[in-house]
Amino acid sequence: MRIAVDLDGVLANSMKTWLKIWHEETGQLIEFTELGDWFFWRKLKIDEETFMRILNKAWERWVEIPPTEDNIGEKVSRLKTLGRIDIVTARSRNTEKYAIEWLKHNKISFDKYVWVKNSEAKAELEYDVYIDDSPSLVEMLRNTGKLLLLYSQPWNRSIRETFNVKIIKNLDEAYLLLSRRRIF
């Protein structure tokens, strides 16, 4: 089984650090649970470039980025017993070195770190399973025979399950689901 695990929003809760920097820069406090939309930043009247600038800054401060779950390294290792685990991420390339440091620091072992330009490119790769928080992958993986385990986050709560989209609250749920599926 070839499993693509996303970094931001699945392993690393980088939006928490994003909100911290936003607060430092603007004085505005936004709760994590208020991020009810993938494009929430549009409501802040900023452009995508500004959103990315702050995300890059968050990664420069990678030590401050919390993992999404406790014992995340152990949980990824358990998933790794089921197949190949690649970290597949579409973030700004110049933050790659920080991402690698973060993965090391959080004791996350994986087979390969794969950088892609965007979600479209991600969907085209040869993986059986995607563990991701992006609502845009739902459409892109439709009718592909690939399974999307959508990692529950405030910005993807409106997505409903289909035969190839399953919502997971944590990585243990991913493990249970995948260990029961013997089709790969």
Phi then psi dihedrals of residue 2, to 5 deg: -100, 120
8: contact with Mg ion by CB under 5 A = yes
Residue 123 neighbours by CB distance under 10 Å: 22
- Site for Mg ion (CB under 5 A): how many residues? 4
72: contact with Mg ion by CB under 5 A = no
Residue 23 CB, shortest distance to Mg ion, in Å, is 22
Token readout for 166 is 């399953």
Residue 8 CB, shortest distance to Mg ion, in Å, is 4
Whole-angstrom Cα distance, residue 20 to residue 63?
13
Determine the interface stretch with Mg ion among 1-9, 70-78, 95-103, 109-117 (rule: CB under 5 A).
1-9
Residue 67 CB, shortest distance to Mg ion, in Å, is 14
> Which of 22, 133, 141, 148 is in the footprint of Mg ion by CB under 5 A?
133
Q: Which is nearer to Mg ion, 11 or 178 (CB)?
A: 11
9: contact with Mg ion by CB under 5 A = yes
Q: Which is nearer to Mg ion, 139 or 182 (CB)?
A: 139
Binding residues (CB under 5 A) for Mg ion: these are 6, 8-9, 133
